[in-house]
Structures are given as structure tokens and as C-alpha cells.
Copies of this chain bind each other. A is one copy, B any other.
Amino acid sequence: MTTTDLTRLFTPHSVAVIGASERPGSIARRVVENLADHSDLQGSLHLVNPTRSTVLGRPCFPRIADVSPAVDVAVVVIPAAGVVEAVKECAAAGVSFVVILTSGFGEVGDQGAEEQRALTRIAAETGMRIVGPNCPGLTNIRDRIGMTFSPSYTGDLTAGPIGLATQGGGLGRTVLQAAERGLGTSLWASLGNAADLDVPDVVTYFAGDPEISTIAVLLEGIPDGAAFLAAISLAAAAAKPVVALKIGRSEYGVRAIASHTAAMAGEAAINSAVFAQFGVVEVDDIDELADVASLLSRATPPADAGVAIWGMSGGAVSLCADAVGQAGLRLVELHEDTKAKLGAILPSYAALDNPVDITAAGLAAPELVLQSLRVLAADPGVDVVLAPIPVDYGDTTVPVANAMVDMQLESTTPLLPVWMSDRRGPAYSVLADARLTPVHSVSKAVKAVSRWAAHGHWRASLPLGGQPLPMIQRPSLRTSTPAPEVRTEVAAKSWLAHNGIPVPKGRLTHTDEEAVAAAAELTGAAVLKIVSPDLAHKSDIGGVRVGVRGGDQVRAAYDGILDAIGKAAPDVEVLGILVEEMIDDVALELIVGVHVDATFGHVLTVGAGGVLVELLDDVQRRLLPVQRPTALAMIEQLRVSPLFDGHRGGPPLDIEALVSLLCRISDLVTAHPEIEQLELNPVVLRAVDAHGPSVVAVDAVVELVQR
């Protein structure tokens, strides 16, 4: 990713269409029509086609080189076979940006992929930037410029604060059609195969665009994790929330994507963890992308959002309250003044507590709607008002909708109407025209509010000055002081211990008598383990003995291990037998690891270990580096975290020691990015009143990148 300014890409003064045509129904004709008849270009439109002198009554140039001065954007709609040559000509002619709508590149096989790489090279070598190929192009709704073949473009008239960046085209238009309920989009870029510019470039531009407040992205793959993170960090610095739908999250979805585009789907769990860490609001569905982007564009969520529910049907507010409760959102306890004011306005049988049910009286007396909503929105504890509308009563519902709009004009507290009916009469249009973006079901509305509220929580958790950028270093990068060879457990533990990671007491022995002496130095029972650079699964072949006590048992264990290895794996190099203290007062087992994600680099994982691994999908992941607050958050967000307070009245576990271990691992890997894999499994926690360290890495594997 570079930082080319994209202003003249989205808002070009002059545009050329390479391959202009007037053939009815052709893509090229629609491109010309969209630009000539339905766009407000500040400058001029030039048509290029060597086989025609005019197209739709406009003069036609034979070659882009004939167009002078050079255009800001050339839209390419010629067949795939001629695209590379045409793009070269554009670069030679001084064109700033090329938008290639043509398909038949990376998505169709090796030949197409080779052509696509040629496009990438042209961009890199000339500095001319490329959108596409295989995309519907760019849609600038606020300035009314359509560099796209879409016949739907002519209806794209609802401008607003959302910047939309997608790879594929179809689902982007689904988001645009949320204009039907009032969602306003400023700019939409569909990057297609992204031979050059991709979603991060567009997000970077949106971050600096003063007319865009909220960024929505639809991703099939994240080919460049560093670019993605840089872009969302810029958006975060500009206080613009990014809402993302990532497709290809399940095995089935990945399969579908693989047959759809060449994009790499990435590993869903890592993506989601990264999104959460960097404040990207992840959603599960297209309608949710619109729901959440709209709500975020309407109001900035506070740290701990309080929800009010308002309605005219007991059943509907109750259903809403159920969903709010199940989502873990907080229903506001209304201020006494609020209740008193509601009581003065509403009939005696109305419910004045939250949820507020003004009953069907509101249909007969619509002034009650505005009055009660006004009072509710003014309550100091209320950050958002959910307003379910279960039935469309046609014209009867219109005054209710008007009252909602009036309240929203007065108040900065966002009102979220829930239009529960499948019928959409004039009241729906009132809400949509006022940009209240009604949501279509209680469950989706509550999901939107949950995500909005969670984003507020994330914002509040940021340290002053924002989140540090992750390291995103490949393990192939060498450091000045490389990590030592750590091919065995003994070497790994020794190096970890040197770097402040607690490991069990013990030492490497080479005779049975050395082993007896080593065991005698320990307090309780011992564990004996074979040490060999060639053995990954020691215990499977008799290489580990636990609970060994006293000289005779140690000698027997020592000899037994050597016997077993001699039979099972006679050719391995044996460096000795590790004699270690056995930790038998285990309160909790965890797994701590670092691995390299192909997209995002080093990921730190901490999760429940032992028997709980099978039962709990209990893992927290963060990109490195992590510092104390993040490490603490990882631990607190584990499902096993209640156990840290002590189980069944037992003593608490040592969270601080675990935080410290995670931070030391982070420091170690940050200093040694050549670490490709590090696994401490298990890390055992002992009650803090136990003797010995309260957190111990009982086994350790460290793998460095092959040099």
C-alpha cells in the first residue's frame, strides 16, 4: 500500500472511456450513458474507440494518446485480451487512474492470473494506479459521478456519510439498496480482483475524507494484513468507525470463495480476533452492515450505553426487552423525574418504567408519541431508544412516524425504529426519508445496538493516544542478536528461564546417579523426560515418567526410559534425561502460544488447557506486541476467568504472574521475530499460597524460522 491521494479517482474532472460503444445492452454503452447522461463531471468526458468516429453522437478518439491533456480516470471496458496493452497506453499517456471493469483475469485461471500480474507491474512501474479488473467500478453518489456499467447507478441518489469499500460487486449494491430505508452512501468503490488498489487504500482515503464519518467494508480476503491494519488505524485516528463483513468464515464459505475469486479467505478466528483488537466492528450479514453503519453514523457510542425501549404494544416492548436482556445490554433505570413526567403525560394504564409502553393510546393521540419520546430521550441515562412498531396500520401509523422524526430532529439521542411488519406503508417512507434507517426485526435491531455499544466499550478501553500498531514482521527478518538454537525442551526452557519465564526446577542428567542426585534436590516427586532433538512426542514411546520418588524409583525410571527409547527409536540422538520437579498442586492449566499468521504476523494465544480444552472453546488471541492492559484483558475475557478468583472458597490464582508471563513472551518474540512458533503447554497455575512460583511453563517448544 502506498499513499496516493485518491481524490481525483473518486471525483475526477476528466474521464475517458476506453472501448466506448453504442451497441444496445452492452456494458460499454451503459458506461458511456452513466457518465454522459447521469453524471455531473466538473471537466470533460472523452470516448476512445479506434473503430468509430462517434458514439451516441459524441466524437470518438482512436487512442488514449490523442486525448490531451491527460484524463484523471480512464475506464477500460474492452475485452480482456486487449486490456494490458490499453493500460500501458494509458500510463504512457499520463492517465492518473485506470478503472478496469473487464473480467477474465485472476478469477479464471493461470493465463488470467498472469495478465493480472502484468497489470500489477504496470502500476508499480509507472505510478498510475489501477482499480479492478473484474469489478463494477466506482460510484460517487454525493458528487453524482458513475464510473460503472451498473444499470442501477441511475437510481443511486441517496447520499450520506457512509464510505463503502468492497471487493466483489454484487453485495456492495445490496448495501446501496439500503437507501430504501434511508442509508446514505457517499462513495462506493468495488475493487474486484484488486490488481493494485485494494480495500485498505480506499479505507485510507475515506479516513481523510471530511464528508465520510463511517466506513463499511465487505471483504473476501485480506491479502496484505499490514496494509489493512495501517488503514484501520488511520480510520481509528480519525475517529471513524469501520464496520466489516468478512465472507469466507466457515469451511463451506471458504470453498465457495475459492471457486468465486482468487482471494485468500484467511483464518476466520484470527481475522475476528484482529478485528476485535483494533476496533473493527464485525457483522454477520449484509443487512447488519447497513444497520450498524447507520447507527454508528448517527451517534458515537458511549463507554457503557444505556438502552431505553419505547412502544405502543405490550407484547412488542416485552419482546424487545427479552432481546436486550439476552444480548447482555443494559436497560436503563429511568430517572425519577422522567417517570414523573411520563406519568403526567400518559394514561393511567401505561407502563412508565423502562420499557415504556404508552399503549395503543398513541395511535389515537399521536401527540403522546412525541411527548413521551421527548421525555425519554432527555433522560440523562438514556443513550439510545429502541422503538418497535409491530404493525403497519397504513395512514394511522403516519403520525406516529412523524412524531419519531420530530423527536429525532430535537434530540441527539438516536432513535432506532424497529419496523416489524412485512407491510411497508407511508409511515415507513416517513422514517426512511428522514434517514432513521428502520431495522426490520427486533433481533436485528438489538444486534445492531449491541455492536454499537460494544464499539463504545472498545473506544473507552483505548489508552490515551490510541492503540499501538502491531509489529507485523515476518519471521524471516533477522534480528541483530538472534535467538540461540533451542531444538530441545531443555534448551527452550533454559532460554525462556533466562528471559524471565518460570519453568520447573530441574536439570539435565547423563547417568542414573546424576539423576538420583538431581531428584534429591527437589522437594516432592520428580518427572524424568528423555531429551533429544529428534523426538517430538516423548511420552508416546515411554520417554516420560512422572511421580518418581526416591533413589530406587529414579534409577528404575532412568533406565526404563533409556530402554524404551532404545527399543522404540534406536537411532535418535539422546542428549540425556531431564529431571524436574513434578507439579502436583495444579489449580488450572492453560495453553500459551505464539504463531505466525500468514496475513497478520505474530499472534499471541492464551486459552484453557487440560480437560477444559475439549469442553470450552476458550481462547483469546491478540496480535503482538501486547502490553499489560491487553494481556490483562485477554485473561479477563477467558471463560475460565471466574476460576482466578479461587474455586469453592479456595485461594485466588495469581493473575499478575500470568500477565507478566504474557508480556515477557510478547517482549521476547518482538525482540526475536525469527521465532516462528512458541508453545507453552501446559502453563500451570498454583494457588498463590503454594510453595514455588504460582505460574510455571511445564513444557515448552520454540521453533525458529529455518535460516
CB of A174 closer than 8 Å to a CB of B: yes
Q: How far is the CB of A444 from chain B (nearest CB, A)?
A: 7
State whether A173 touches B391 (Cβ < 8 A).
Answer: yes
Q: From the candidates B220, B250, B357, B441, name the one contacting A315 in the complex (CB within 8 A).
A: B220
A325 to B285, Cβ gap below 8 A?
no
Give the residues from 336 to 368 in chain A that come closer than 8 angstroms, CB to CB, to chain B.
349, 351, 353, 355, 357, 360
A639 touches B615 (CB 8 A): yes
Q: Quote the shortest CB–CB distance from A427 to chain B (angstroms).
A: 13
Closest to A640 in B: B615
Task: State whether the Cβ of A286 lies closer than 8 Å to any Cβ in chain B.
Answer: yes
For the complex, is A314 an interface residue (Cβ under 8 Å from B)? Answer: yes
The answer for the CA separation of A312 and B257 in the assembled complex, in Å, is 13
A517-563 contacts to B (CB < 8 Å)? none
Q: Assess whether A255 is in contact with B643, with CB atoms less than 8 Å apart.
A: no
Residue in B closest to A393 when the chains form the complex, CB atoms: B152
Contact present for A286 and B441 (CB under 8 Å): yes
Q: Does A423 contact B (CB under 8 A)?
A: yes
Which B residues lie within 8 Å of A326 (CB)? 249-250
CB-contact partner of A174 in B421, B443, B642, under 8 A: B421
Q: In the assembly, what is the distance between CA of A442 and CA of B247, in Å?
A: 12
Tell me whether A284 is interfacial, beta carbon within 8 Å: yes
Please determine whether B615 and A174 come into contact, CB atoms closer than 8 angstroms. no
Q: Considering the chains assembled together, what is the distance between the CA atoms of A331 and B320 in angstroms?
A: 33
| Stretch from A38-46, A124-132, A176-184 that touches the partner | A176-184
Contacts of A173 in B (CB 8 A): 390-391
User: In the complex, A331 Cα to B180 Cα: how many Å?
Assistant: 33
Q: Which residue of B lies closest to A438 (CB)?
A: B422
User: Scoring A residues 637 to 671 as 1 if CB is less than 8 Å from chain B, else 0, what string do you get?
Assistant: 00110110001100000000000000000000000
In the assembled complex, A14 has its CB within 8 A of some CB on chain B: no
Q: How far is the CB of A442 from chain B (nearest CB, A)?
A: 5
Chain B's closest residue to A421 (CB) is B177
- A313-B616 in contact (CB<8A): no
Decide yes or no whether A497 CB sits under 8 A from chain B: no
**Distance to closest chain B CB from A305 (angstroms):** 15
Pick the contact of A261 from B314, B324, B396, B639 — CB < 8 Å?
A: B314
> What is the 8 Å Cβ interface bit string for chain A, positions 270-285, against chain B (1 contact, 0 not)?
0000000000000011
Q: Give Cα A421 to B181, complex, Å.
A: 10
What 0/1 pattern do residues 437 to 454 of A give for CB contact below 8 A with B?
A: 000111110000000000
Is residue A611 contacting chain B, with contact meaning CB distance below 8 A?
yes
**Is residue A287 contacting chain B, with contact meaning CB distance below 8 A?**
yes
Residues of B near A181 (CB, < 8 A) are 422
Residues of the B chain whose Cβ atoms lie less than 8 Å from the Cβ of A251: 325
Could you say which residues of chain B place their CB within 8 Å of the CB of A674? none
Residues of B within 8 A of A322 (CB): 247-250, 252-253
Point out the residues of chain B lying under 8 angstroms from A249, CB to CB.
322, 325-326
A383 in contact (CB, < 8 A): no
CB of B315 within 8 A of CB of A218, answer: yes
A192 to chain B, nearest CB (A): 12
Q: In the complex, which residues 567-582 of chain A have their Cβ closer than 8 Å to any Cβ of chain B? A: none
A318 interface residue, CB < 8 Å from B? Answer: yes
Chosen A-B contacts, 26 in total, with CB atoms closer than 8 Å, are: A152-B391, A170-B315, A170-B390, A173-B391, A177-B391, A177-B423, A249-B325, A250-B324, A250-B326, A252-B331, A252-B355, A253-B319, A255-B355, A256-B314, A256-B351, A259-B351, A259-B357, A261-B314, A285-B319, A285-B323, A285-B443, A611-B648, A614-B643, A614-B647, A615-B616, A615-B643
**14 other contacts beyond A171-B319, A253-B318, with CB at 8 A cut-off?**
A151-B396, A152-B393, A168-B315, A170-B312, A170-B313, A170-B391, A174-B390, A174-B420, A180-B421, A180-B422, A247-B315, A247-B318, A252-B355, A441-B444
